[in-house]
Chains A and B, each alone.
Chain A
Amino acid sequence: EVQLLESGGGLLQPGGSLRLSCAASGFTFSTYAMSWVRQAPGKGLEWVSTISGSGGSTYYADSVKGRFTISRDKSKNMLDLQMNSLRAEDTAVYYCAKHYYMAVNHPSFEYWGQGTLVTVSS
């Protein structure tokens, strides 16, 4: 059974940093692209970032480019999102998601974690 379990969310002030993690199990982690998707309170889904199975290719939404870094550790089956220079508009539930296919250019998110809430407020 595929499981994705996010952690690391919390309350922090603007300008701060936070690292989210997603523990993956039940599939060959290094084979599939993985993504982060967020949802601001009461709002729709917003794609944040994608990483290839090997970790060699990464992609970011313009809204987070230069501030967020996606990475993965295949030895630990972990997906991370390092978030720096956080802003109020980054407040959201952050989901990690496994792609249906291995390819990064097929963003069908087959499995989702339960989400972790990040609140940026002074």
Chain B
Amino acid sequence: QSALTQPASVSGSPGQSITISCTGTSSDVGGYDTVSWYQQHPGKAPKLIIYEVTNRPSGVSSRFSASKSGNTASLTISGLQPEDDADYYCNSYTSTSSVVFGGGTKLTVL
């Protein structure tokens, strides 16, 4: 199972909005509404910020939103803040009963 495709890096200034894409196939992203997104700061465990494509867990800022179209899921962070500077990963269930992650995107808040 190949990793989902994410841009290696994105950047934005405080207050701006950015979007991170996560592209798979009809056997994973496109075939199931199970895309999740995680935020990871250096040396820390990942944190779930979006589950089942669009849902935010309790306590996650409303500045994080997500969507899916076809085989591509997207995470949008609005009103960028310095603490958003982190790595972001998507994942999805697959048709082979496995789980696949994206390669990760490093977000730099300028």
- Answer whether residue B3 sits at the interface, using C-beta atoms and an 8 A cutoff: yes
Contact of B101 among A46, A59, A95 (CB under 8 A): A46
A residues near B45, Cβ cutoff 8 Å: 95, 112-115
A100 with B48: CB separation less than 8 A: yes
CB-CB under 8 A for A44 and B99, given A108-B34, A108-B48, A110-B48: no
Is A71 an interface residue when CB atoms closer than 8 A count as contact? no
Instruction: Report the minimum CB–CB distance from B26 to chain A (whole Å).
Output: 16
Q: How far is the CA of A77 from the CA of B3 in the complex (A)?
A: 32
Known: A100-B51, A100-B57. A45 touches B46 (CB 8 A): yes
Taking the complex as formed, is B103 at the interface, i.e. its CB lies under 8 A from any CB of chain A? yes
Distance between Cα atoms of A95 and B91 in the complex (Å): 15
Kindly state whether residue A105 has any CB partner on chain B within 8 Å: yes
Chain B contacts of A1 at CB under 8 A?
none
How many chain B residues have a CB neighbour from A under 8 Å? 27
Are A44 and B52 in contact, with the CB atoms below 8 A? no
Number of interface residues of A (CB under 8 A): 24
* Nearest chain B residue, comparing its CB with the CB of A96: B45
CA distance A100 to B1 in the complex (A): 23
Interface string of A94-110 (1 = CB under 8 A from B): 01000010001111111
Is B92 an interface residue when CB atoms closer than 8 A count as contact?
yes
Q: Report the nearest A residue to B100, measured CB to CB.
A: A47
B32, B47, B97, B99 — most chain A CB neighbours (10 Å): B99
Cα distance, A37 to B100, chains bound together (Å): 11
Cα–Cα, bound, A58→B103 (Å): 24
Contact check: which of B52, B98, B101 meets A45 at CB < 8 Å?
B101
Q: A44-B3, A115-B45 are in contact. Are A107 and B92 (CB under 8 A)?
A: yes
Which A residues are within 8 Å of any B CB, using their own CB? 35, 37, 44-47, 50, 59-62, 95, 100, 104-110, 112-115
